[in-house]
């Protein structure tokens, strides 16, 4: 079977297909149908924090698949209960959780919960922010390329500059249900929150009676160098959205809920597959691996190592290198598409973040030898003549 031809024939058209057929993964590497190895510095858009096919997660999935795959949350379950208890210990003060299947679903739930809790409707988000593609999450997203084809969106969303406390304070008032922010803006260009900004946002929300929603879909689960990026600033939000690497690659999302979230009664929201036993078993195994292998510490140390290597690249193309942990952006002075293609030709998979930023999200289990290869290849690629796009 010509896999590429079959996908090109039947795809719906919403994805730009790469000319590489991936059939297997192990650790920080992916393998194509011919057995060629690629260093995966995308982690499936931040999903594979534990690397690919981690044996402990695979074993947990197989074991649970032979026991019970699905169960709606009206019926309590051993795997779900254990995961709820585990979650309650991750971020003190947030002892309740809503389970769903993805980051955008977590954001949708958080928006609904904020409106229910406050009786208000206004949502303040940040410029350059990305929160998902469903209608509520898209309304919080800034990029007009994502928004404009689907106008009109959900009303009463507004946007302010990121890392600007004064602008945020002016935007939040008596009609504001919530402020939603990323701890590090990923899709928008890999911009970390400035020191103190999240604390300032929390203060502003509390003074106005609004809730603070932090979107940690991409930054959560050790990527930033801590379990959650908000812990760098010692901030506990009212609602925290997470997904991506939560269940080691199995689709799963969640919203952690603080005490200010209220009025959640049976039937106001739900998810058919949310908190299913298979995903919960995978998440329990994934969280155990994160703690046993000290992946937060690994991300902090390896991120600092890679940032130092990247900072030593002397290329006229590079405007800035920024990031947190193993979430790093290299901003160029021109479009990155040719350089991403050049990297892929050298069997390194990376992402863009907007038009001019190379985004690196390698698995947290990546080795130092692999980091050296990544840095050396980037140095080589960025030393060439500027690309044409």
**Annotated active-site positions, please?**
130, 215, 244
- Residues with Cβ within 8 Å of 299's Cβ and at least 6 positions away in sequence, in order, are 222, 223, 224, 225, 325, 326, 364
Element (H, E) at 39: strand 37-40
Of 196, 170, 183, the C-alpha closest to 130 is 183
Task: Quickly list DSSP for 40-93.
Answer: ESSHHHHT-TT-BS-HHHHHHHHHHHTT-----TTS--HHHHHHHHHHHHHSTT
Task: Extract the tokens encoding 282.
Answer: 């995978």
Q: Are 286 and 245 in contact (CB under 8 A)?
A: yes
Torsion of CA 253, 257, 262, 266, to 10 degrees: 40
Cα atoms in the 13 Å half-sphere on the side-chain side of 231: 16
Cα–Cα dist 73/147, whole Å: 33
Cα–Cα dist 103/110, whole Å: 11
Of 389, 339, 352, 387, the C-alpha closest to 143 is 352
Of 6, 16, 46, 36, the C-alpha closest to 248 is 46
Count of other CB atoms within 10 angstroms of residue 118: 22
Cα–Cα dist 247/244, whole Å: 8
- Burial (CB < 10 A; 0-12, 13-18, 19+), residue 335, is middle
- Residues with Cβ within 8 Å of 239's Cβ and at least 6 positions away in sequence, in order, are 110, 113, 114, 178, 211, 212, 213, 214, 255, 256, 257, 258, 261
């Amino acid at each position: 079977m010509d896999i590429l031809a079959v996908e090109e024939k039947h795809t719906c058209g919403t994805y730009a297909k790469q000319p590489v057929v991936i059939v297997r993964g192990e650790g920080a590497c992916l393998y194509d149908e011919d057995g060629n190895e690629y260093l995966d510095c995308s982690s499936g858009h931040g999903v594979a924090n534990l690397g690919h096919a981690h044996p402990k997660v695979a074993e947990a999935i197989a074991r649970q698949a032979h026991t019970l795959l699905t169960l709606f949350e009206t019926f309590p379950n051993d795997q779900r209960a254990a995961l709820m208890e585990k979650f309650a210990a991750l971020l003190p003060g947030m002892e309740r959780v809503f389970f769903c299947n993805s980051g955008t679903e977590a954001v949708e739930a958080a928006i609904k919960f904020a409106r229910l809790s406050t009786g208000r409707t206004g949502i303040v988000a940040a410029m350059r922010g990305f929160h998902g593609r469903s209608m509520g999450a898209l309304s919080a997203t800034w990029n007009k390329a994502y928004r404009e084809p689907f106008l009109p969106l959900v009303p009463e969303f507004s946007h302010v500059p990121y890392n600007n406390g004064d602008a945020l304070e002016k935007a939040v008032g008596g009609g504001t249900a919530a402020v939603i922010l990323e701890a590090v803006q990923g899709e928008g260009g890999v911009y970390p929150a400035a020191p103190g900004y999240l604390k300032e946002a929390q203060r502003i929300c509390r003074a106005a009676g609004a809730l603070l929603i932090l979107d940690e879909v991409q930054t959560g689960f050790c990527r930033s160098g801590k379990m959650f990026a908000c812990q760098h600033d010692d901030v506990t939000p009212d609602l925290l959205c997470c997904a991506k690497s939560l269940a080691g690659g199995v689709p799963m999302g969640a919203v952690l809920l603080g005490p200010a979230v209220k009025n959640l009664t049976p039937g106001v929201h739900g998810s058919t597959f949310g908190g299913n036993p298979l995903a919960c078993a995978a998440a329990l195994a994934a969280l155990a691996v994160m703690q046993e292998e000290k992946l937060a510490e690994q991300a902090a140390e390896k991120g600092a190592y890679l940032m130092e290597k990247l900072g030593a690249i002397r290329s006229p193309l590079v405007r800035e290198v920024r990031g947190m942990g193993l979430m790093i952006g290299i901003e160029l002075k021109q479009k990155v598409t040719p350089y991403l293609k050049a990297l892929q030709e050298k069997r390194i998979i990376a992402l863009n973040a907007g038009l001019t930023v190379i985004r690196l999200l390698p698995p947290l289990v990546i080795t130092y030898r692999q980091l050296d290869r990544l840095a050396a290849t980037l140095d080589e690629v960025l030393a060439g003549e500027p690309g044409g796009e």
